[in-house]
Amino acid sequence: MGNRRLTLNLASVALYFLSLWLIASVLARYARDLGIGITEISVIWSVVSLVTVVMRPLTGYLADRWSSNATMLIGSVFSLLSSIIFLNASDFTSLLLGRVVQGFGNSFFIAPSAVAVASSSSSVGLALGLRSMLISLGGVIGPPVAGLLTDSLGYWAVFSLAAISSLTIALMNVNLKKGGGGEVRKAGWRDALRSVVLISMSLAALGGAALMVILELVQVHYRDLGYGASIFGYFSMFFGAAGLLSRYLSGRMAESRPMTVISLGYGTMLLSLVALSTWYLPPLGYGIAALFGLGLGFTIPAQQYVTIRSVPEGARNRAMALYSMGADVGRFSGPIVMGFVASFSDYSTAYLLTSLFPLASVPLLILLARRMRDA
């Protein structure tokens, strides 16, 4: 599995998600410091997912027609532009614009990167596990770095580092897009619209909603309690560190026992969110963050493996686009709903209600297991 294309694809993923984590770790706090309210911050936070859910079908189609790396190149350019916009933002409108542009970047990069990695290796589950580990590693490195940079230099340092990361990805994918991505193109949307894909899409929506609620609300909550940016950075670091282990195990187990590891993930997420409603303050909050990261990490590589393996090769980007659309819907709706709850009730109630997302996975998991047995 140690080939140059796989290595460069994994490096692209690592840098892209490092950039995302850098920005995500300070964006809500930045908006709050600009005098923007919680409800408006939820809109800024969620709009990126609205953009991606609209763009996914197009980018999935283009990635199957061109190559995964060609669309990843386009995505990295949008990511670079969004970092530049954040660097110069000063109000709600400019932050919203930056998130819209970031949404274009995510739609062109994230789902195709999973297919690019899978297509670069004969061991699909392990490759996806490594990719997911690198995403989690960005969550270990990015938040504390962003917090320290913000506290010592200011927000401009975070956005500048994110821009440099995006530029590096673009340069790498200029070469990767040459020679094709290895995808077979004789397939269409009908091949991607299969029941296993649609169920995985629904599960991704539940996980995405829970994730983005935590990343947004805890960040703002800690700020309102008077903590420095580095404190939330450590919260995210524990979340990401725990995910390193579970994402690797999920990738290894995906090819033999995918339903076991996915079910374990949603159960762990449920426990963590119930606990967070009471023990959200550091240092106990750091342990809850690790538990949530462990659970989420179990679900992602295995769900992606099931999605990719359930369709012909030429429909993989379309299938991953559908799967990612589910995550987008969750990431868009979850923070808005729970941000509303937090603004009219309290953060603790919002955390507790967020546990309904993993709880809703139970009937979907039963249905997915049946569909996989019948396939």
Residue 241 reports pLDDT greater than 50: yes
**Once rounded to an integer, what is the mean pLDDT over residues 125-142?**
93
Q: CA-to-CA distance for 336 and 245, rounded, in angstroms?
A: 30
Strands (E), the chain: none
Q: What is the mean pLDDT of the chain?
A: 93
Residue 55, both tokens = 């763009």
Residue 262 reports pLDDT greater than 50: yes
**Once rounded to an integer, what is the mean pLDDT over residues 297-313?**
96
Question: How many CB atoms are closer than 10 A to CB 244?
Answer: 20
Q: CA-to-CA distance for 166 and 82, rounded, in angstroms?
A: 10
pLDDT at 178: 63
With beta carbons less than 8 A apart as the criterion, state whether 276 and 211 touch.
no
With beta carbons less than 8 A apart as the criterion, state whether 176 and 9 touch.
yes
With beta carbons less than 8 A apart as the criterion, state whether 163 and 80 touch.
yes
**Once rounded to an integer, what is the mean pLDDT over residues 286-314?**
96
pLDDT digits (tens, 9 = 90+) for 312-370: 988 999 999 999 999 989 988 998 899 999 999 999 999 999 999 999 999 999 999 99
pLDDT digits (tens, 9 = 90+) for 44-103: 988 998 899 999 999 999 999 899 999 999 999 999 999 999 999 999 999 999 999 999
| Complete domains list, the chain, with CATH | 4-374 (1.20.1250.20)
Can you give the chain as a three-state secondary structure string?
CCCHHHHHHHHHHHHHHHHHHHHHCCHHHHHHHCCCCHHHHHHHHHHHHHHHHHHHHHHHHHHHHCCHHHHHHHHHHHHHHHHHHHHCCCCHHHHHHHHHHHHHHHHHHHHHHHHHHHHCCCCHHHHHHHHHHHHHHHHHHHHHHHHHHHHHCCHHHHHHHHHHHHHHHHHHHHHHCCCCCCCCCCCCHHHHCCHHHHHHHHHHHHHHHHHHHHHHHHHHHHHHCCCCHHHHHHHHHHHHHHHHHHHHHHHHHHCCCHHHHHHHHHHHHHHHHHHHCCCCCCCHHHHHHHHHHHHHHHHHHHHHHHHHHCCCHHHHHHHHHHHHHHHHHHHHHHHHHHHHHHHHCCHHHHHHHHCHHHHCHHHHHHHHHHHHHHC
Give backbone dihedrals phi and psi of 194, rounded to 5 degrees, phi first.
-110, 155
Residue 153, both tokens = 């230099």
Using only the alpha carbons of the chain, give its radius of gyration: 19
Q: Which residues contact 165 (CB under 8 A, 6 or more apart)?
A: 15, 16, 18, 19, 22
